[in-house]
Amino acid sequence: MQKIFLYNTASRKKEELKPIVGGKVGIYSCGPTVYWNQHIGNMYSYISWDVLVRVLKYLGYEVKQVMNLTDVGHLTSDGDSGDDKMEKGALREGLSVWEIAKKYEEQFFESEKLLNINRPDVVCSATQHIPEQIELIKKIEKNGMTYVISDGVYFDTSKFPDYAKFANLKLEEIKDTDRNEISKEKRNLSDFALWKFSPKDGTKRQMEWDSPWGVGFPGWHIECSAMSTKYLGEVFDIHTGGIDHIPVHHTNEIAQGYGAFGHQTANYWIHNAFVVGKGGTKMSKSLGNLFLASELKDVGVNPLAYRYMVLNSHYRKGLEFSVDGLKVANIAYEKLVRLINEWNDGGKINDSYKKEFEEKIADDLAMPEVMALVWKLTKDETVKNEDKKATLLDFDKVLGLNLGKSIEEVIPDEIYQLAKERTEAKIAKDWAKADTLREKIKTMGYLVEDFKNDCKIRKLVLS
């Protein structure tokens, strides 16, 4: 079996993957907080772990992937104060928290579908696992690592000597940014909530449960400790998430593991870097670079062109996103699909390319090198076209780019609108307007062909 190497944040080194049970790998992936849309920056994370699962399966492993949906307890401040993001989302939209959860779960799975991300074997939500979270807190309490203050049950991080190790934290430099009653009551500023009490002023939370400590709701981190160990065992192989999770969420999950079981729960912690705007700027709606997967077609690209773009970056390096870059990726992606679809079926997989492919995917998911290999193969005159096709369709089990399907034309709504106006102009016999609109559509890269009282729109092929 091909040896697999992954960069483990816990050791800051590339390590050989040695599964607990030979040939089987358990993966827990931190999933979305379903209080708002997941944008293509978030989706970078899920594409990366989809590729990881596909790589493991391609190389012959049996994989069980578990992913959570955070639908309670993720507060706006990492210091365990502020609002619950879910309740905030509900207020924003005039819906109940449960409706918000459902709405954004659907948006998330719709985005996953558009980007060809396979559904994990287990998808579990925090609100469906309250008893498991309470049980875990009880274990940590029994081991003497908790204390209760006015707003909840807290983990005493001073009881876990290695607390700072995972993220190389400088605990003495942590500042009391919240400066409120809770932070004054905490024994250490790094302590975090395991269970929060409902407000004492009588305001009723939409989500709250009974517990041995009082009515309230779980802290954000305990759900991942409870659900990962429930579905994968007290120790499992791989835990994934974005780099933003290293200093708080995953550091706290590791502490909870020690608190409850006395040992680490995951052997390999792997993290994706971020998608940023031009020059490293944050992705934001006001900069015009924050997209949803469902909006990709509005700029005239196939949603899988974004997946193609992600594959050309390395998950630990992240991606500098721009619409221009996305359009270039779309041209390359469509060219690749068209090329493959021109070749005959019935070829054989090329062994030497397959070997190189396996080495690259097993080397900490070196996908940019894999993409270079893909293009090298398309141009290799010593390999028959039908063999190229067979080899690339085999690689596509990992790439997930639907290389064997013909390209679906993506027509942006704006073009549809102009074409509709043109048809109306034609019906009204306003030929001059119809011609102007046809030209306008053409300069935007599309061709309208008349068809009775309707028309067909085609994308102009650029190269």
Chain residues binding ligand AMP by CB under 6 A are 30, 32-33, 41-42, 44-45, 241-242, 244-245, 272, 274-275, 283
Helix (H, G, I), strand (E, B) or coil at 212: coil
> Minimum CB separation from ligand AMP for residue 261, in Å?
24
Of the candidates 236, 223, 227, 199, the one whose C-alpha atom is nearest the C-alpha of residue 87 is 199
> Minimum CB separation from Zn ion for residue 251, in Å?
12
- Distance (Å, rounded) from C-alpha 25 to C-alpha 5? 14
Interaction partner, residue 32 (Zn ion, ligand AMP, none; CB < 5-8 Å by kind) = ligand AMP
Interaction partner, residue 224 (ligand AMP, Zn ion, none; CB < 5-8 Å by kind) = Zn ion
Residue 211 vs 313, nearer CB to ligand AMP: 313
Tell whether residue 224 is a contact of Zn ion (CB under 5 A). yes
Q: Which of 4, 10, 25, 30 binds Zn ion (CB under 5 A)?
A: 30
| Contact between 101 and 34 (Cβ < 8 Å) | yes
Residue numbers 276-295 binding Zn ion by CB under 5 A:
none
- Distance (Å, rounded) from C-alpha 201 to C-alpha 127? 24
> Minimum CB separation from ligand AMP for residue 244, in Å?
5
Give Cα 252 distance to the centre of its chain. Answer: 21
Tell whether residue 374 is a contact of Zn ion (CB under 5 A). no
> Minimum CB separation from ligand AMP for residue 291, in Å?
11
Residue 35 vs 213, nearer CB to ligand AMP: 35
- Distance (Å, rounded) from C-alpha 258 to C-alpha 129? 20
Interaction partner, residue 26 (Zn ion, ligand AMP, none; CB < 5-8 Å by kind) = none
Residue 289 vs 423, nearer CB to ligand AMP: 289
> Minimum CB separation from ligand AMP for residue 400, in Å?
18
Question: What is the helix (H) or strand (E) element at residue 450, kind and residue range?
Answer: strand 446-451
> Minimum CB separation from Zn ion for residue 68, in Å?
6
Residue 250 vs 389, nearer CB to ligand AMP: 250
Task: Give residue number: closest CB to ligand AMP.
Answer: 242
- Distance (Å, rounded) from C-alpha 50 to C-alpha 52? 5
Q: What is the CA radius of gyration of the chain?
A: 26
> Minimum CB separation from ligand AMP for residue 241, in Å?
5
- Distance (Å, rounded) from C-alpha 448 to C-alpha 450? 6
> Minimum CB separation from ligand AMP for residue 229, in Å?
19
- Binding segment for Zn ion (CB under 5 A), chosen from 22-30, 118-126, 225-233, 343-351, is 22-30
Of the candidates 152, 134, 151, the one whose C-alpha atom is nearest the C-alpha of residue 142 is 134
Q: Where are the beta strands (DSSP E) in 198-310?
A: 216-218, 236-242, 266-272, 275-276
One-letter amino acid of 301: V
Residue 30 vs 390, nearer CB to ligand AMP: 30
| Contact between 176 and 158 (Cβ < 8 Å) | no
| Contact between 171 and 163 (Cβ < 8 Å) | yes
- Binding segment for Zn ion (CB under 5 A), chosen from 73-81, 210-218, 221-229, 329-337, is 221-229
DSSP 170-208: -GGG---SS-SHHHHHSSSTT-EEEEEEPPTTSPPPSS-
Q: Residues in the site for Zn ion, rule: CB under 5 A?
A: 30, 224
